Structure 1
Amino acid sequence: MSMRSNLTSVRQIKRALGEFRDCLNLGAKQQRARTMATQTQTKESQTKHCLGMDSLNPNIKVLEYAVRGPLVIRAGEIEKELEKGVKKPFTEVIKANIGDCHAMGQVPITFIREVLALVTLPSLLDDPRFNTDVKEHARTILKGCRGSSVGSYTDSPGIEVIRRHVAQYIERRDGIPADWQNIIISAGASDAIKNVLKLLICDVNNKPPAVLIPIPQYPLYSASLAEFGITQVGYYLDESRNWGLDIAELQRSINEARKTSHVRAIVIINPGNPTGQVLSRENIEEVIKFAYKEKLFILADEVYQDNVYAEGSKFYSFKKVLIEMGEPYSSMELASFMSCSKGYMGECGLRGGYAEVINMCPEVKAMYLKAISAMLCPTVLGQVALDSVVNPPQKGDPSYDTFIKEKQAVLDSLKVRAKMVADTFNSMEGFKCNVVQGAMYAFPRIDLPQKAIEAAKKVNRAPDAYYAFELLENTGICIVPGSGFGQQPGTYHFRTTILPQPDKLKGMLQKFEEFHKDFIKRHT
């Protein structure tokens, strides 16, 4: 081998060694880069979230809202599965879990929608298709808006002319004067209720605040109290008296609660949700006397006041009864709530409601209004919808006949459906359902076999939740288990709306009955 060949070989070896060394260095650099990136990512994952579960408001962790809980989430998943062609023993999900009237096929009231159309597009005020009273209604509202536009902010408690109309509505309803300055318009009754509950967040005599709420209750209350860190004190409604309020039970509940908390207020839902009862005047008087004796602020949730169906049932507002009882009761603090989401209107999505607050300490009322101002103003279209409810067409107006016809048709149909639901459940083995006197729900009691209770325990569910999930998976019917509302220990219930249109409701109840027979057979 020549000298030149040897040198070439040496050079090739050196070059190969150099390339190998470079590869090693590059690999080491890449490994170091990967290590640094991993460390950076780990450090970022530890520091990029200023708000973690360990630093989250603990009240939010315990907050639950049953009517939009796991069952509803599963119902949504099933809907998507059906859209993708997944085979089920049903073709649609019937959401009987929530009081959403229009979602269940209720047709909007023409007068309300026409007023909304005109205020959002004022050029329609010259359109001959709209009645003169609708146009006058829209002009009055626009005149109360800054810049004559519903796109502008309003006063925080709402547009003055609408607050005045609310006061006039209450006067017509109760036959008692109402001061428009006591009317606070809100984005639905829920916001109004929460705004009053916030005022109670204060320890008194070194004890945390507490509020009495009915059991079963509408989960807005348990969720709001949990959010605000206010102790929930439940008082059981008397199922044997069609879910009436028992004063002895109220006394038991408050006596027990006062060992650890300062009970500051009592919530009454009338007509009832989820129970569908309508309180008698005598029962309301008993509650007012109890609240006076125990120095409690009264919160009267009266959003279903138009929904009264049963013979002999009549809605009485807490304000009317309280004022007519005279002193000392007529000077008691009371906040009552109304909404355009329920009744015959069902305009849930527009978020219109109000609170009438009477006899509040003037200094506290100033703080209340200050707190509301931080939210700027309630949705203006919600205010418009509310105005159309409290200031509807009057006899002789061009829109009156259509308005009354549509309103009555909705209420008459709900009355039929209320009876249909209660009668059907009472005809089924193992069910007991009180008369649906009002509101939009039935809350039947169900006797579950021991085998079903044991099956529920195995999957870590409450027995009524187990039943509700089985119902959903087999029929597509979505209800809310009674455990989401509260119930007497050892009893099982569920809430269903009466809102599906008559034909669909009939089919739903038939499916329900068939499922129940099969469920009992499988768990006996």
Structure 2
Amino acid sequence: MTRSPLTTGWLLLGLPLLLLDFQSNGVLASVAPREVPKNFPSISNDKMKKRLTEESMSQNIRQMEYAVRGKIVIAAEQIRDELSSENHPYDFDHVVFTNIGNPQSVGQKPLTWPRQVMALVDLPDHVGVNHPLASQMFPADAIRRAKEIKAAMACGSSGAYSHSKGVKLLREDVVKFISHRDGGVQADPEDIFLTNGASTGIVMILNALLADSTCGVLIPIPQYPIYSATIDQFGGNKVGYFLDEANGWDLNLQELERALQEARSQGINVNSMVLINPGNPTGGVLKKKTIKEVVKFCVKHKLVLLADEVYQENVYDEKAQFVSVKRVAHELGVLQKDKLELASFHSTSKGVFGECGRRGGYMELVGFDPVVKDHIYKLASSGLCSSLNGQVMTALMCRGPEPGEESYDMHEAEKQSIYQSLKRRSQIVTDGLNRIPGFSCQPAQGAMYSFPAVQLPEAAVEAAKIAGLSPDTLYALSLLERTGICVVPASGFSQKEGRFGFRTTFLPSEAEMERCVELFRSHHEEFCQKYA
């Protein structure tokens, strides 16, 4: 009998486990306890006891969840390993990981010029920038930039610690980027923290905000799990405000007021708000008018505003436009009057760079009490510094080759090629999903994701309940087992009661995404028939 991959999960010794057997029409099967082998070494109770157990460990960590790398991904990795066997039970030959915004893991090519500069920065001078044949192997602008960066580093080495905020020259590149992006709005290198991706900055600021268990943070629903997971880790309160799916995932002031007042009536000290624009997982891009309302709302209620803007280059809808929170706040005059505390985040992992493994990013702190900013600097110092490779990549993202330099045309052409392909893929997935009966998917105006709502048969909802799973987790497991596509259940991002769906990236190739759309359709038909 061919076993269902979902029944191959690890069984706890001596404990029965109920799992859905998808090879037997969704009927619950009771899996008998595994027999302990006769030669299995006996372990006394005393020896099995550990000082750190699930009961004695931090319960905040125990309770936190991070769906993007959750149980569906664990199952997908197990299936990927099983595919190496000739006798595997699957109807596909590879797993398509669309669960996470990790462009280069699914085939996006790295940009040439940043990698050339990075190679020269990392190489010892005698085999890199000063090698007699360097000019034959690398363009002159890459050599010049690498020399400039190395001169700013301790002993010219990317292997040495830097200032805890990051190498000052590289922070100055970020400052120039922000000023250019925002129409001349000034920035200060002392307000810039170079971080390991945007994530480290987000964790640092939430660590400072969540002083005790009464503190709360307004987060969008649906939201990106780093916020819910980190708030749980620090023992704070998640205060959700719902985005308007029917209106392109926009938000409105009435909903913000509702969420805030409801939380405060429960004794929660809401001290901050998260704004993700462009949206993750929604793919929505907020209008300037909406951002103005958010800034005024935060000023009115004295909330620290966390602006997650890592997808600012990923805007595909010609009617949409990314506008930074800082620019809007400056135009409203609240920054000049010191009325808003704003933390903004950007990353090399997204955009067209897709350099997730470099762990590059920055956090800008504007309007904060200087003493508080010193304490955040102290927190950054406890980690010594962010990755130097990430720092360099962030600076190269912020300041590429100049017009007229040797690599400018090639660099811009490579970026445009990636961007245009992402734009086409966003359309492939949105249009394809909306053609499936039972699917509803708002256009992906930006970011790297589609977040469809999926109508599930009542019998599937009941089966999931019995199995102790959310209905869209049951659906995602079935999709994985039948097609090899790994998505994230929408419940991992939170959503309105009664809504089901999933988040998928559109990062694999255009041909692969067209194939995936067909598999989404065929699987949904099969799933609905199975649970009719």
Matched letter for residue 102 of structure 1: Q
Q: CA deviation at 1:267?
A: 0.2
Looking at structure 1, the residues matched to 531 and 203 of structure 2 have their Cα atoms a distance apart, in angstroms, of 43
Matched letter for residue 130 of structure 1: F
2:245 to 200, 221, 239: 239
- Aligned equivalent of 1:271: 278
- Aligned equivalent of 2:326: 319
What does residue range 19-418 of structure 1 map to in structure 2 within 5 Å? 41-46=44-49, 49-85=50-86, 86-121=88-123, 122=125, 123-125=127-129, 126=131, 127=134, 128-175=136-183, 176-203=185-212, 208-258=214-264, 259-327=266-334, 331=338, 332-418=340-426
SS of equivalent residue, structure 2 residue 283: coil
Q: CA deviation at 1:394?
A: 1.2
Q: Is the CA contact (8 Å cut-off) linking 1:333 and 1:358 kept in structure 2?
A: yes
Q: Is the CA contact (8 Å cut-off) linking 1:322 and 1:330 kept in structure 2?
A: no
Looking at structure 2, the residues matched to 469 and 368 of structure 1 have their Cα atoms a distance apart, in angstroms, of 41
Are the structure 2 counterparts of residues 216 and 329 from structure 1 closer, same or farther at C-alpha, using a change threshold of 3 Å? Answer: farther
Q: Is the CA contact (8 Å cut-off) linking 2:111 and 2:411 kept in structure 1?
A: yes
SS of equivalent residue, structure 1 residue 111: helix
SS of equivalent residue, structure 1 residue 54: coil
Same amino acid, percent of matched pairs: 43
Matched letter for residue 227 of structure 2: Y
Q: Which runs of 5+ in 2 are unaligned?
A: 1-40
Aligned length: 482
Q: CA deviation at 1:38?
A: 8.4
Q: Is the CA contact (8 Å cut-off) linking 1:431 and 1:446 kept in structure 2?
A: yes
SS of equivalent residue, structure 2 residue 422: helix
1:465 to 473, 495, 498: 473
Q: Is the CA contact (8 Å cut-off) linking 2:439 and 2:452 kept in structure 1?
A: yes
Looking at structure 2, the residues matched to 314 and 106 of structure 1 have their Cα atoms a distance apart, in angstroms, of 24
Are the structure 2 counterparts of residues 42 and 470 from structure 1 closer, same or farther at C-alpha, using a change threshold of 3 Å? Answer: closer
- Aligned equivalent of 1:28: none
* Structure ranking higher in helix proportion: 1
Given the alignment of the two structures, is residue 433 of structure 1 paired with residue 435 of structure 2, yes or no?
A: no
Matched letter for residue 202 of structure 1: A
Greater alpha carbon shift after TM alignment, 514-523 vs 386-395: 514-523
Greater alpha carbon shift after TM alignment, 398-407 vs 245-254: 245-254
Looking at structure 1, the residues matched to 336 and 299 of structure 2 have their Cα atoms a distance apart, in angstroms, of 7
SS of equivalent residue, structure 1 residue 83: coil
- Aligned equivalent of 1:30: none
Are the structure 2 counterparts of residues 397 and 62 from structure 1 closer, same or farther at C-alpha, using a change threshold of 3 Å? Answer: same
SS of equivalent residue, structure 2 residue 290: helix
Q: Is the CA contact (8 Å cut-off) linking 2:426 and 2:444 kept in structure 1?
A: yes
Are the structure 2 counterparts of residues 454 and 323 from structure 1 closer, same or farther at C-alpha, using a change threshold of 3 Å? Answer: same
Provide the TM-score with structure 1 as the length reference.
0.90
Larger Rg: 1
Q: Is the CA contact (8 Å cut-off) linking 2:455 and 2:500 kept in structure 1?
A: yes
Greater alpha carbon shift after TM alignment, 115-124 vs 430-439: 115-124
Q: CA deviation at 1:425?
A: 0.8
SS of equivalent residue, structure 2 residue 217: strand
- Aligned equivalent of 2:484: 476
- Aligned equivalent of 1:502: 510
Looking at structure 1, the residues matched to 499 and 89 of structure 2 have their Cα atoms a distance apart, in angstroms, of 35
Q: CA deviation at 1:304?
A: 0.3
- Aligned equivalent of 2:10: none
Matched letter for residue 514 of structure 2: K
Q: CA deviation at 1:50?
A: 2.7
SS of equivalent residue, structure 2 residue 137: coil
Matched letter for residue 296 of structure 2: K
SS of equivalent residue, structure 1 residue 273: coil
Matched letter for residue 118 of structure 1: L
Q: Is the CA contact (8 Å cut-off) linking 1:142 and 1:149 kept in structure 2?
A: yes
Matched letter for residue 274 of structure 2: V
Q: Is the CA contact (8 Å cut-off) linking 2:242 and 2:255 kept in structure 1?
A: yes
Q: CA deviation at 1:330?
A: 5.4
Q: CA deviation at 1:329?
A: 7.7
Looking at structure 2, the residues matched to 519 and 118 of structure 1 have their Cα atoms a distance apart, in angstroms, of 53
Looking at structure 2, the residues matched to 212 and 324 of structure 1 have their Cα atoms a distance apart, in angstroms, of 24
